[in-house]
Amino acid sequence: MDFYIDTANIDDIKKYNALGIVDGVTTNPSLIAKEGVSLEKRIKEIAEVVDGPISTEVLATDYKEMIEEARKYVTWHKNIVVKIPMTVDGMKALKILAKEGIKVNITLIFSASQALIAAKNGATYVSPFVGRLDDISEDGMGLINEIITIYSNYNFDTKVIVASVRHPRHVVDSAIMGADIATVPPAILDKLFKHPLTDKGVKAFLSDWEKVKNLQ
Ligand code: G3P
């Protein structure tokens, strides 16, 4: 299972990349907007740090403009994956870009039928948003299970990126279900490492050793 980091913050990307847990990066217009830097500059900076897929989202809503943006993005770096929303225009753009060999991540997936259509049109990745479904009392991880079953039934190559991750349980359940990737915000990556019994155990070992360390 791959872990992507779901942020455009370059300091966080460097920090978690150094821990060896970053296989790729996902960004979106909201994440880029927080950074106060141009999209192109930030994506190129990320590409210098992480050797893996970097999802870069189109801003156009019309399919012809989406295609133009996609073709421009892929000139920035070999690892660029173009992120396109799950709209009718998005599907038209996907069909054409997939034929050109451009890798596309279809985002804002909230149903299994959307994931099925995206796979049929040649998406390299789909991004179902589990947290936003949970937020409205739907079953985010239930959707992941449905998509994985459908893709397995028909041997689709499309990879599932579990997105809108809110807590470590989303990541663990993704792994149990066999999702290809979870894209995780920095604060949740921290929580994946932590357990109070680990901290307590380290403290107790050191304190016990303190009592005997001078014995000959
Ligand atoms: O990158 C897209 C997705 O992960 C957004 O998450 O927390 O805004 O629902 P969130």
SS3 88: helix
> How far is ligand 1, taken at its centre, from the CA of residue 165, in Å?
7
Q: Is the CB of 167 under 6 A from ligand 1?
A: no
Q: Determine whether domain 2-215 maps to CATH 3.20.20.70.
A: yes
- Among 168, 195, 193, 194, smallest CA distance to 20 is for 193
Asked if residue 121 has pLDDT above 90, the reply is yes
Q: How confident is the model at residue 72 (pLDDT cuts 50, 70, 90)?
A: very high
> How far is ligand 1, taken at its centre, from the CA of residue 131, in Å?
8
**What is the tens place of the pLDDT at every residue in 151-196?**
999 999 999 999 999 999 999 999 999 999 999 999 999 999 999 9
Please report, to the nearest 10 degrees, the dihedral formed by the alpha carbons of residues 25, 26, 30, 36 taken in order. 20
SS3 45: helix
The residues spanned by each domain of the chain are 2-215
Tokens 């996907």 identify what position?
Answer: 94
Mean pLDDT, residues 56-76: 98
Asked if residue 216 has pLDDT above 90, the reply is no
Tokens 């299994």 identify what position?
Answer: 112
Q: Is the CB of 164 under 6 A from ligand 1?
A: yes
Rg (CA), the chain: 20
